[in-house]
Amino acid sequence: MNVTPSTESSSSATAIQSRFLRACKRLPVDATPVWLMRQAGRYMEEYRALRTQHPILELIKQPDLAAEVTMQPIRAYNLDAAIIFADILPPLEGMGLNLEFIKGEGPVIHNPIRSRADVEALRLPDPTESLWFTLEAIKLVRKQLDPRGIPLIGFSGAPFTLASYAIEGGSSKNYLHTKGLMMSDAPTWHLLMEKLSEVVGNYLLAQAKAGAQALQFFDSWVGALSPADYREYILPHSRHAIDIARQGNVPIIHFGTNTSGMLNLIQEAGGDVIGVDWHIDLDTAWDSLKPETAVQGNLDPVTLLAPWPEIEKRTREILDRVKGRPGHIFNLGHGILPGTPVDNVRHLIDFVHEYTSIQH
Amino acid sequence: MNVTPSTESSSSATAIQSRFLRACKRLPVDATPVWLMRQAGRYMEEYRALRTQHPILELIKQPDLAAEVTMQPIRAYNLDAAIIFADILPPLEGMGLNLEFIKGEGPVIHNPIRSRADVEALRLPDPTESLWFTLEAIKLVRKQLDPRGIPLIGFSGAPFTLASYAIEGGSSKNYLHTKGLMMSDAPTWHLLMEKLSEVVGNYLLAQAKAGAQALQFFDSWVGALSPADYREYILPHSRHAIDIARQGNVPIIHFGTNTSGMLNLIQEAGGDVIGVDWHIDLDTAWDSLKPETAVQGNLDPVTLLAPWPEIEKRTREILDRVKGRPGHIFNLGHGILPGTPVDNVRHLIDFVHEYTSIQH
């Protein structure tokens, strides 16, 4: 199945009015926009029902199913943006890595990268061929979202985070192999990161062309590094990927965790919106960034498992720290955890809107 | 076996001249002092040999064995401080929790705390009875260290880090149970933390009385929290424990990881020296603290598995950022990893001394 890259405008007339896209540009909004990382997923009954019939990679690779999962939280709550249902790892498959999701263990790569030859063998596929299913899902979802005036976010794993999975062969605690390659063989490291940044940049650009109205660059695990290593071994490659994606003319959200000590470097690599996890006060984080920056965050995801008064208290504190500065997108500091009660999610979204509405 | 609390002065005449203790007080030093978290342990052949004969809790609970392990790295390298061989978890045993170290899994607590009744049942034992073995080991080690002029560091897990093990029953990724208790039952949380802070404070004070010339307060996992939660649920209890320990009149090192966004709060809780992991530039961290602060850190432990030129490059960068400010203790940002080559450890310690010596 082939997907012809779309040439349609990346933002529809309705969507440009959306709170989410306005906040990305730091324009005034009638209430703070909210979306939640992993807003579609295991905590929702509708999703679990689908998962009993389809393995996760099937949900991702069948565009109609990916579109359905993307829409589940949109139908359930008053969210201000949808995010395409996909995963950060499929881009590695097209490069030649064998990806499998193993129950109870998570993602596993059966042929991890360990040598120069492994890196040289990596292919740079055209995303319209290797990742056609996500691009097709984006088109399907846009048809359902546009009448609602809700914009769609596309995303990709960032080069470092993809490299860490590709090298470790799965998730990791200390990133021994990843940092080992980085510290012991800089030329091979940079070759790998160059290849990944091309793939990531082109994938993001293809998503914008397919209809994604914003793009999130997920560097989830980059906080494992020191700022000095980030600057030397990651930043140029993240910047290259983001520069390619910028040709899509849609806002880019640059997200990481445990980055409190290097948010300025994350920004230097690029992005219109900087994601902030919960390990730093949002205003402190914001003050460390350039004045024209929008920010996204920063509630601890565990909070959503607490009783409502505790959720409200912590949400209110974040919103009070923002004090009406333009360009805040409310979100968790990382993805929703399995076991999160859906009523808490609904209540949170409504509370953020109510508390920040112009009538407030 | 009973241990009479010692009334001897906490620092000997030789030790007061030590680089390490001078740096804790921000006095001039002839070279930057170095010690390394987990400097005794699995990466050393001598240690692995002992471990084939004794389970880890036996090494900790037999004072002569604990003293021997403490001395192994002191004999092998030019370290500026020893740290008593112990673990952060034994204080929980005296409170009534059943601790076991399971091969391949790490520490497990068989009766984790989940209810108010569990917290109420916790005992507050006298550390000279429940933890006599570590106090006795401190006395034995001091006899071997004093002739060398090398000071001894005692330590304890901090209340939050101990609470997280006590509640989760072992190590954790998301701290769901710990944060769950904290967010859903504040009175029980505070009762637990009050009990832990008493136990921790008294244990640290007992170590100073037994001869420890500095104390490290290990809040290894506190970076899992938001600054707001730290301020409300942790800080008062950490401060209480540190206030008790301060009666020992020895410098206190306050250590955590992933605390880049809340180092000021860590300092507010107390400590003469603030531990800084590798996720923030050391000078940036230092600038966020009060001017009279000493700091400890901040090399990524994975670095020690890299080729020497890479280790030297990163070590040099840290030392250059310090630029001769008084009060820097060189250390890793967390413990030495298993598999670290001993030659790299030796070379690192010598390099720090050489590079920072007054002749430099």
Q: What is the pLDDT of residues A63-86, one digit of tens each?
A: 999 999 999 999 999 999 999 999
Tell me: ipTM over 0.90: yes
- Dist. CA B12–CA B173, nearest whole Å: 42
pLDDT over 60 (residue A13): no
* Percent of all residues in chain A with a pLDDT value above 70, rounded to a whole number: 95
pLDDT of the residue at B17? 83
- Dist. CA B82–CA B80, nearest whole Å: 7
Question: Between A260, A302, A307, which is nearest B179 by CB?
Answer: A302
Instruction: Please compute the mean of the pLDDT values over residues A341-352 and round it to a whole number.
Output: 98
Domain contains B4:
no
Is A325 marked within a binding site?
no
Residues of chain A in contact with residue B259, where contact means CB-CB under 8 angstroms, are 279
Instruction: Please compute the mean of the pLDDT values over residues B80-100 and round it to a whole number.
Output: 96
* CB–CB contact B223 A261 (8 Å): no
pLDDT over 80 (residue B100): yes
Question: Between B226, B229, B279, which is nearest A223 by CB?
Answer: B279
- Phi and psi based region of residue A55 (left: phi greater than 0; alpha: psi -120 to 50; beta: remaining): beta
Domain contains B1:
no
Question: Between B176, B180, B258, which is nearest A279 by CB?
Answer: B258
Please provide the average confidence, as pLDDT, over all residues in chain B.
94
- Dist. CA A83–CA B222, nearest whole Å: 32
- Dist. CA A222–CA A225, nearest whole Å: 6
Eight-state DSSP code of residue B205: H
pLDDT over 80 (residue B15): no
Domain contains A346:
yes
Nearest Cα neighbor of A275 from A106, A142, A158, A168 is A158
Residues of chain A in contact with residue B283, where contact means CB-CB under 8 angstroms, are none
Residues of chain B in contact with residue A285, where contact means CB-CB under 8 angstroms, are 261
Please provide the average confidence, as pLDDT, over all residues in chain A.
94
The enclosing H or E element of B143 equals helix B132-145
Question: Between A179, A281, A303, which is nearest B227 by CB?
Answer: A281
Of B43, B77, B165, B203, which is the active-site residue?
B165
Chain segment A239-290, per-residue pLDDT in tens: 999 999 999 999 999 999 999 999 999 999 999 999 999 999 999 999 999 9
Binding residues of B for substrate: 38-42, 87, 165, 220, 334
Cβ within 8 Å of B, A 204-223: 223
pLDDT over 90 (residue A7): no
Chain segment B182-216, per-residue pLDDT in tens: 999 999 999 999 999 999 999 999 999 999 999 99
> Chain B closest CA to A200's CA: distance in Å?
25
Boundaries of domain holding A24 = 10-359
Q: Is B306 in CB contact (< 8 Å) with chain A?
A: yes
Domain contains B2:
no
pLDDT over 80 (residue A168): yes
Chain segment B267-280, per-residue pLDDT in tens: 999 999 999 999 99
pLDDT over 80 (residue A22): yes
* Percent of all residues in chain A with a pLDDT value above 90, rounded to a whole number: 92
Instruction: Please compute the mean of the pLDDT values over residues A91-96 and round it to a whole number.
Output: 97
Contact in structure between B186 and B222 (CB atoms under 8 Å): no
pLDDT of the residue at B103? 85
- Dist. CA A270–CA A274, nearest whole Å: 9
Question: Between A175, A183, A284, which is nearest B261 by CB?
Answer: A284
Active site residue B51: yes
Name the pLDDT band for B104 (thresholds 50, 70, 90): confident
Instruction: Please compute the mean of the pLDDT values over residues B226-234 and round it to a whole number.
Output: 98
pLDDT of the residue at A12? 46
Distances (CA, A) of A114 to A117, A125, A167, A229, A281: 8, 21, 6, 20, 39
pLDDT over 70 (residue B358): no
Instruction: Please compute the mean of the pLDDT values over residues B147-158 and round it to a whole number.
Output: 98
More confident residue, B358 or A21: A21
Residues of chain B in contact with residue A281, where contact means CB-CB under 8 angstroms, are 226-228, 261
Instruction: Please compute the mean of the pLDDT values over residues A24-43 and round it to a whole number.
Output: 97
Domain contains A5:
no
> Chain B closest CA to A6's CA: distance in Å?
41
Instruction: Please compute the mean of the pLDDT values over residues A22-36 and round it to a whole number.
Output: 97
pLDDT of the residue at B244? 98
pLDDT of the residue at B111? 97
pLDDT over 70 (residue B8): no
Domain contains B137:
yes
pLDDT of the residue at A221? 94
Secondary structure of B223-242 in HEC code, one letter for each residue: HHCCHHHHHHHHHHHHHHHH
The enclosing H or E element of B322 equals helix B308-322
Instruction: Please compute the mean of the pLDDT values over residues A190-203 and round it to a whole number.
Output: 98
Q: Is B104 in CB contact (< 8 Å) with chain A?
A: no
Q: Is B305 in CB contact (< 8 Å) with chain A?
A: yes
- Cis amide bond preceding B298, omega within 30: yes
* CB–CB contact B306 A180 (8 Å): yes
Chain segment B291-342, per-residue pLDDT in tens: 899 999 999 999 999 999 999 999 999 999 999 899 999 999 999 999 999 9
* CB–CB contact B279 A228 (8 Å): no
pLDDT of the residue at A16? 59
Domain contains B291:
yes
> Chain B closest CA to A255's CA: distance in Å?
16
pLDDT of the residue at B142? 98
Cβ within 8 Å of B, A 139-198: 174-176, 179-180, 183-184
Which residues partner with B191 through β-bridges? none
Question: Between A183, A258, A305, which is nearest B306 by CB?
Answer: A183
Q: Is B314 in CB contact (< 8 Å) with chain A?
A: yes
Active site residue B87: yes
pLDDT of the residue at B3? 41
pLDDT over 50 (residue A356): yes
pLDDT over 50 (residue B2): no
Domain contains B348:
yes
pLDDT of the residue at B340? 98
Residues of chain B in contact with residue A278, where contact means CB-CB under 8 angstroms, are 226
* CB–CB contact A176 B278 (8 Å): no
Active site residue B272: no
Grouping H, G, I as helix, E, B as strand and the rest as coil, residue B85 is: coil
pLDDT of the residue at A11? 44
Chain segment A97-138, per-residue pLDDT in tens: 999 999 888 899 999 999 999 999 999 999 999 999 999 999
Q: Is B300 in CB contact (< 8 Å) with chain A?
A: yes
Q: Is A310 in CB contact (< 8 Å) with chain B?
A: yes
CATH at residue A82: 3.20.20.210
pLDDT of the residue at A358? 66
Q: Into how many domains does chain A fold? A: 1
pLDDT over 70 (residue B16): no
pLDDT over 60 (residue A360): no
Instruction: Please compute the mean of the pLDDT values over residues A343-356 and round it to a whole number.
Output: 98
* Percent of all residues in chain B with a pLDDT value above 70, rounded to a whole number: 95
Instruction: Please compute the mean of the pLDDT values over residues A294-314 and round it to a whole number.
Output: 98
Cβ within 8 Å of B, A 330-359: 337, 339
